[in-house]
Structures are given as structure tokens and as C-alpha cells.
């Protein structure tokens, strides 16, 4: 698509086909807005965000709900209109306390919409645990799927589960999750390519932060990374993969390799932690203490990266700059692709007629000027007069 100069029509929270309005109803616009040459793009969807602004989704607090409200409010300025609050590996008691408090809800002036939780762990590999606490890691022992249910307590508000596919009995777990409409993501794993392919054949559709917390690409066994060019993906299925495009987690050359190999699967995620939007210093990521130094975040006292403090709009700009891709491609990696991954592209992630009117106005440098949810302006840059 080449960007064209045209109008966007909105009614009752949806994007409207104006022909219907002109010809069937002989109507016209009640309110007209001059967008002053801005780019209008679908709202961003962040499927991996661990917290921000001092709020950690992997900590049970008395005011957990107000914490999630704060984050959903604050990320509107980054262009995020929907997100999946992400929990890193935690003890079962934490999932039992926190998951019932994550309600799936529409966005609005109160904040970005919540699409359901992303549970990253605890069924992941010890060798590739990254910032996840080792003492909380688990395997599928006797009960496989029953063990997972007992750990999480309930799957009612769960949208994505990240697991390591090399674990014994993971195939049946992947099938059970997929049957329930939950997206299975492969990550924090030492899987070889055939294990990864088998997981995809059983229903896995996503890769958690490609290149991070997995075996590095090797030409004889490319591991999970090899899924990007695998010829063993079931017909009609697409594998998506998350990338943290913050200039730290993935070298720009690696970002370019992934994008060129499989552009349609690339999903930008922030993997943001509680320290997002706060001063450098010590913050948390679930059970761990994290040290923030500039854009670098480490488990305190180590050089292990632990999440990021980059905003989604920063990731979009960095991605566009690193790959030299079109503006549309950069914007789609943060909107259309995550919507397709979650199977909600008929509602979100595009500007098609009859979809939710969640959209952004951006300047040519891709800085967000205003954010709209269901056709209502929910945030705008103060300096930007309308």
C-alpha cells in the first residue's frame, strides 16, 4: 500500500465506509478534523509487557488493579491501544492471586484495552532462563496439562503462554492450549529445529523475543530461529515472532536478517519492565532485582539482560531505521501482525471498514501526536494544536 491522502470516517467507535453514509443515508460528517498532514495508523498492540512506571505485573500487591490501570493509562502516549500484561516465571501462589485480577476489557479514556495475560514461564529451560528465577521453573511431570492448570489456577484470562517445546510431554500441552484458543509461543528454550517444527505442527504460532533466550543460529541445526525459513510449517499457517527492537537486545544486523527472511511474521514487542518511564536505578522483575543503566537493564550484579525500558513508539522508529523498511511495514509490525497473531485482525490492527476505530496520528518521524480508541481521542501531545 502506498500512503494516500484521504479521509477516515468514524461512527460509534468503528471505522465507517463513507459510501454507505453518502448513498444509503444521505448523511455527512458531524465533526471534521484537520489532521495537518499527519500519518494515520492503527493503534499499536503490545503482546509482551511486564509492567512499567513502578508497576510489576509479576508482583501481587493490594492495589494490583490500580497498578494495571496506571500502566494502561500511561502507554497511551506511546501509541499502544491494546496490550497483554505479561507475567514472568513466578510461584503458583502468585498466578492464583494475580490472574483473577486481570480482566479482559476494552480500551478508552481510562487506558489501553487488555487482551488477556501473556504467561512467560515457568515451563521453560533452565539453560535459557534469562532473567527468570530458577527456583520457580517447572516441568510437565506426570500430569502434563493438569500440572499447567494447577500451576496457573485458571486459564480464563490467558491469551498467550510461552514455553520450551523440548520439554517432555509439551506436545499434548500445546495441543490442549491451542484447543482453548490460547496462543502458544516458543521461547526460553534450547530446542533444536525439529523440536520447534513439531511444536508448530501441534499448534504453536509465536516465538518469544527471537534470538534472545534461545540457542544461537547454527547452520547445521538452526534451532528455533530456523522456523523463519522452515518448509515444515503446516499449509496456510504463519509463524510469528516477537522482536525487542530497542537497539540493545538485538543487533541491527540480526534485526535485518530476521526481517528479510520473514517480514510478514515480525511482531514488535517492548518486553518492558516496571522501570519503564522511571529513573535509572533498582527496580523489580517479579522475584528478581533489576538494575537500570540508560536503556540497559540487568539482573542486579550480573550482565544478564532483563526486559527493556524502551517504549513501543521508540521500537517502531528504531526498527524502521535499522531495516530501512517502509513506514507502513514498521507500523504494521506493531499493529497488524500482533492482531493477526491473536486472531483479532477483523477488529484491530488495520484501518479497514467496520474495525475498531483505534488509531494514531503520527508525524513523518513517527512520533505519536494523538491516540484514539473507539474513535475518541484518549491522548494528545500538548504542543500539538488541533
- Cis peptide leading into residue 122 (ω within 30°): yes
User: 259 labelled as ligand-binding?
Assistant: no
Cell of 44: 499499536
User: Strands 359-362 and 368-373: what pairing?
Assistant: antiparallel
Catalytic residue (one of 56, 246, 271, 313): 271
Q: CA-to-CA distance for 349 and 44, rounded, in angstroms?
A: 7
Q: Say whether 131 counts as a known binding-site residue.
A: yes
The answer to whether 339 is annotated as binding is no
- Segment (H or E) for 243: strand 240-243
Residue for cell digits 505442527? 201
Distance CA 307, CA 270 (A): 8
Which residues lie below 8 Å from residue 101, measured CB to CB, with a gap of 6+?
64, 65, 68
> How many whole angstroms separate alpha carbon 227 and alpha carbon 236?
15
3-state secondary structure of 343: coil
Strands 296-299 and 288-293: antiparallel
3-state secondary structure of 370: strand
For residue 384 the three cell numbers come to 500539538
Dump the DSSP string for 319-331. HHHHH---HHHHH
209 is in an annotated binding site: yes
- Residue 156 and residue 104: Cα distance in Å, rounded? 9
Give catalytic status of residue 271 as yes or no: yes
135 is in an annotated binding site: no
> How far is residue 68's CA from residue 50's CA, in Å, rounded to a whole number?
10
78 is in an annotated binding site: no
213 is known to lie in a ligand binding site = yes
> Quick one: angle between helices 193-201 and 170-179, nearest 10?
30
d(CA 360, CA 380): 10
Please tell me the distance from the alpha carbon of residue 241 to that of residue 243, in angstroms, as a whole number.
7
Annotated binding site for Zn(2+): 120, 188, 209
Positions marked active-site: 271
Annotated binding site: 120, 131, 188, 209, 212-213, 220, 249, 305-307
Annotated binding site for substrate: 131, 212-213, 220, 249, 305-307
Amino acid at each position: 500500500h502506498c500512503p494516500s491522502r484521504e479521509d477516515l470516517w468514524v461512527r460509534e467507535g468503528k471505522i465507517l465506509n463513507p459510501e454507505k453514509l453518502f448513498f444509503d443515508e444521505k448523511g455527512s460528517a458531524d465533526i471534521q478534523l484537520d489532521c495537518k498532514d499527519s500519518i494515520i495508523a492503527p493503534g499499536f498492540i503490545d503482546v509482551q509487557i511486564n509492567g512499567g512506571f513502578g508497576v510489576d505485573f509479576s508482583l501481587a500487591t493490594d492495589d494490583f488493579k490500580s497498578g494495571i490501570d496506571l500502566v494502561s493509562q500511561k502507554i497511551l502516549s506511546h501509541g499502544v491501544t491494546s496490550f497483554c500484561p505479561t507475567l514472568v516465571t513466578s510461584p503458583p501462589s502468585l498466578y492464583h492471586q494475580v490472574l483473577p485480577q486481570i480482566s479482559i476489557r476494552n480500551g478508552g479514556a481510562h487506558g489501553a484495552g487488555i487482551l488477556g495475560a501473556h504467561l512467560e514461564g515457568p515451563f521453560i529451560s533452565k539453560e535459557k532462563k534469562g532473567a527468570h528465577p530458577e527456583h520457580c521453573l517447572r516441568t510437565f511431570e506426570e500430569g502434563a496439562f493438569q500440572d499447567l492448570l494447577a500451576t496457573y489456577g485458571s486459564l480464563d484470562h490467558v491469551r498467550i503462554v510461552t514455553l520450551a517445546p523440548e520439554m517432555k510431554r509439551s506436545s499434548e500441552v500445546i495441543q490442549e492450549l491451542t484447543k482453548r484458543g490460547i496462543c502458544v509461543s516458543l521461547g526460553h528454550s534450547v530446542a533444536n529445529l525439529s523440536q520447534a517444527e513439531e511444536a508448530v505442527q501441534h499448534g504453536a504460532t509465536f516465538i518469544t523475543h527471537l534470538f534472545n533466550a534461545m540457542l544461537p543460529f547454527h547452520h547445521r541445526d538452526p534451532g528455533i530461529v530456523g522456523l523463519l525459513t522452515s518448509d515444515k510449517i503446516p499449509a496456510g499457517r504463519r509463524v510469528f515472532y516477537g522482536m525487542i527492537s530497542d537497539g540493545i537486545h538485538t543487533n541491527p544486523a540480526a534485526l535485518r536478517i530476521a526481517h528479510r527472511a520473514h517480514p510478514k511474521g515480525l511482531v514488535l514487542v517492548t518486553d518492558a519492565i516496571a522501570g519503564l518511564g522511571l529513573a535509572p536505578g533498582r527496580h523489580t522483575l517479579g522475584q528478581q532485582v533489576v538494575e537500570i543503566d540508560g536503556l540497559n537493564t540487568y539482573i542486579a550484579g550480573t550482565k544478564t539482560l532483563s526486559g527493556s525500558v524502551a517504549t513501543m513508539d521508540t521500537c517502531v522508529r528504531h526498527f524502521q531505521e535499522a531495516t530501512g523498511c517502509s513506514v507502513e511495514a514498521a507500523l504494521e509490525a506493531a499493529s497488524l501482525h500482533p492482531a493477526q497473531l491473536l486472531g483479532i485482525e477483523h477488529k484491530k490492527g488495520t484501518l479497514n471498514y467496520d474495525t475498531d476505530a483505534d488509531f494514531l496520528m503520527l508525524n513523518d518521524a513517527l512520533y505519536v501526536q494523538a491516540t484514539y480508541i473507539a474513535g475518541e481521542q484518549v491522548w494528545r501531545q500538548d504542543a500539538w494544536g488541533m
